[in-house]
Amino acid sequence: MPDKSISKRFVLPMALAIAAALPVLAMAATTQAAPTVAEAEKFIKAAEQRLETLGINSNRAAWVYETHITGDTEAMSAQASEQTLTAASEIALQARRYNKLKLPADSARKLKLLQLNLVLSQAADREAYTRLATTLAGEYGKAKYCSTPGDASSCKDLGQLEQIMADSRDPAQLKDAWIGWHKQAIKYKDNYAQYVALSNKGAREMGYADTGALWRSQYDMPPEQFAAETERLWQQVKPLYDSLHLYVRLKLRQTYGPDVVPKEGPIPAHLFGNMWSQTWDNLYPLLKPQGQNTSLDVGEVLKERKVDAVQMTRFAEGFYTSLGMEKLPASFYENSMLVKPRDREVVCHASAWDIDTLTDVRIKMCINPTTEDFTTIHHELGHIYYDLAYRKQPGLFKNGANDGFHEAIGDTIALSMTPEYLKKIGLLNEVPDPSQDIGVLLHRALEKVAFLPFGYLVDQWRWQVYSGKVEPKDYDKLWWELREKYQGIKRPAAMEENGFDAGAKYHVPADTPYARYFVAHILQFQFHRALCREAGYTGPLNRCSIFENKKAGAKYQAMLSMGQSRPWPEALKQVAGEEKMDASAILDYFAPLKVWLDAQNKELSRQ
């Protein structure tokens, strides 16, 4: 899934949060004896133990807050986070003392990871940062659009508004829901601007140009090289996206008419079946090819059979165990939140949690019996099985090779959710003929290919915000410039005064880096192609499923168990035999669809 989950754990140094630094820790090197390798090793070991203990406390407090939003739980979560981040910053500053030593490879990597943090030296800044971070998450989670001010019955939360976006074909209703939700972000725009300023202050104290530069530095390469890599990958897939975009335009124009959908230029954002136009699969009924009756929509089957949230999760667990991976701990089902409680406010955005960095792993998700949620829970467990696979690594290596890896693991499994797999688990009566594959490929492209430019541009926007190239008054101006350039979509109405449309996307107020999802989309197809080869599969890539293939599972597990112990190109080589990200696997997967789209576009353009 594009961004349906967040992997939640206190990870150092990849927890992209501003840590606190006490002024007394700014040690003067001239008053100290030269450090030794033995001292450095002792320091690193102590740091790992301290951070792991504090991280567990922070995880527990955050879990309680997100599953029971109140003023008290918000304060408790902020306090625990501040304590952990204070320690992280103390350690980051102390780690500088050992930078010139020649350490063993693992120790040198740990020392580098410890310093990928942000630092605030003033107590007032530290308190403001943690308060703003917690408040922004809470304000997003509690936001509702009330179409009739003062009438509580007219208020809808994001889930209800998303349902309208998915189901309605009334342009006026879609536009109302779209505008209503995006207006909510204006309420916390000022808080976000303050947060950005503090974040940058902390990044600069650690020697980075700004927070965006710090984020890009976490890919085992210089910031400018990562930016160049993402552009290279986007250019690889852009022709496929352009063909899909044109097909969708032509079909939407047939549906809504030329007054709603222009013949050229960007398409209004509210027409794509999704609040952010990031995936278009809800439009499939409008775009479905003639003569293609195949559907991998198992939602009706799940409802008819009354398959509940736990059973859906058990199906997903069964995929991983079929690869030879372990069963989930019993505590997983005891501690997870799989359905939305009726008696309290929660953050429903799906997230996977590694509470104690051992076996206390959990999912927080409001599962419904839909195909989307069935796929999402397979994705979620990818995070969980990654957590379990690297739990024997030292504390600082208990993380994904890079953050895109963590998002790609479950999505790789989802690519194996083929008709063959669904039939084997009893959710599909028969496997359709390959001649029906175009419909299935189109449906998947509306999710995966449509997402690519959005996955790319969110952090393009944030990198410019953090760099200071754009001021708060121009947030929306830049946001829509990027969305028109990369996605080919436009705002369905004039910009709001003091608007903050980017803030209507969870990952912006939650300050969750988004390039990971773009990277994950590249990696999941690269992983899928490699694992299919390992399984001995030689047919069309879109027909491959590694379900029940323990040889492919063992190769995957070997990569997962590495955690962050080695630079990500080495982890990629472990599973794919390649050290460079390559989007050609996406082109291989969708090759039959590209031929079909180009033919359809030529025909439809004549009409």
Q: pLDDT, tens digit, for every residue of 356-404?
A: 999 999 999 999 999 889 999 999 999 999 999 999 999 999 999 999 9
Q: Round to whole Å and give the CA distance between 106 and 419.
A: 44
Cα separation of 439 and 443, whole Å? 6
In this prediction, residue 2 carries a pLDDT of: 64
Q: Between helices 437-467 and 515-534, what is the axis angle to 10°? A: 140
Average pLDDT of the residues in 525-533: 98
Count of other CB atoms within 10 angstroms of residue 440: 20
> Is the pLDDT reported for residue 8 higher than 80?
no
Widest pairwise Cα distance in the chain: 80
Q: Assess contact for 391 and 357: CB atoms under 8 A.
A: yes
State the Cα–Cα distance between residues 169 and 271, nearest whole angstrom: 8
Residues 308-358 pLDDT 10s: 999 999 999 999 999 999 999 999 999 999 999 988 888 888 999 999 999
At 4 the pLDDT is: 58
Q: 305-311 contacts: CB < 8 A, separation 24 or more?
A: 306/369, 307/369, 308/369, 309/338, 309/339, 309/365, 309/367, 310/338
Give the pLDDT confidence of 400-435 residue by residue, as tens digits.
999 999 999 999 999 999 999 999 999 988 888 888
Q: Cα-flanking dihedrals φ and ψ of residue 337, to 5°?
A: -110, 105
Tokens of 526: 């690269």
Catalytic (active site) residue 68: no
Residues 552/598, Cβ–Cβ less than 8 Å: no
Q: Could you give the CA distance from residue 603 to residue 301 in angstroms, rounded to a whole number? A: 36
Cα–Cα distance, 69 to 285 (Å, whole number): 37
pLDDT digits (tens, 9 = 90+) for 291-316: 766 667 899 999 999 999 999 999 99
What per-residue confidence (pLDDT) applies to 15? 37
Q: Where are the alpha helices (DSSP H) in 289-402?
A: 299-304, 309-322, 330-335, 371-389
Q: What angle do CA 170, 176, 182 make, to 5 degrees?
A: 135
Quick check: helix, strand or coil at residue 139? helix
What is the average pLDDT value for the chain, to the nearest integer?
A: 92
Assign 30 a pLDDT band (cuts: 50, 70, 90).
very low
Cα radius of gyration (the chain) = 24
Query: Is 397:22 a contact under the CB 8 Å cutoff?
Result: no
Q: Check: pTM over 0.75? Answer yes or no.
A: yes
pLDDT at 25: 37
Q: With H, G, I as helix, E, B as strand and everything else as coil, classify residue 168.
A: coil
Among 53-57, 123-127, 256-260, 480-484, the least confident range: 123-127
pLDDT in tens, 212-243: 999 999 999 999 999 999 999 999 999 999 99
> Of the listed 52, 205, 380, 407, which one is catalytic?
380
CA 249 from centre of chain = 27
Name the region of 477 (left: φ>0; alpha: ψ -120 to 50; beta: rest): alpha
Task: Write down the pLDDT at residue 95.
Answer: 93
pLDDT over threshold 90, residue 123? no
- Residue 9: pLDDT band (50, 70, 90) is low
3-7, 282-286, 350-354, 602-606: range with lowest mean pLDDT: 3-7
pLDDT, one tens digit per residue, over 461-493 is 999 999 999 999 999 999 999 999 999 999 999
Q: Identify whether 507 is a catalytic site residue.
A: yes
Report the helix count and the strand count for the chain, using DSSP H and E: 23, 9
Which amino acid is residue 156, in one-letter code?
A: K
State residue 33's pLDDT score: 85
Looking at residue 297, what is its pLDDT? 82
Q: How far apart are CA 129 and CA 133, in angstroms?
A: 6
Comparing CA positions, the residue from 318, 167, 209, 266 lying closest to residue 491 is 266
Average pLDDT on 561-580 reads 96
pLDDT digits (tens, 9 = 90+) for 61-111: 999 999 999 999 999 998 998 888 788 888 988 998 999 999 999 999 999
Structure letter (DSSP) for residue 362: E
Residue 24 pLDDT greater than 60, yes or no:
no
- 2 closest CA partner among 427, 515, 528: 515
Please, which residues bridge with residue 353 across strands? 8, 362
> Which of 507, 521, 528, 534 is an active site residue?
507
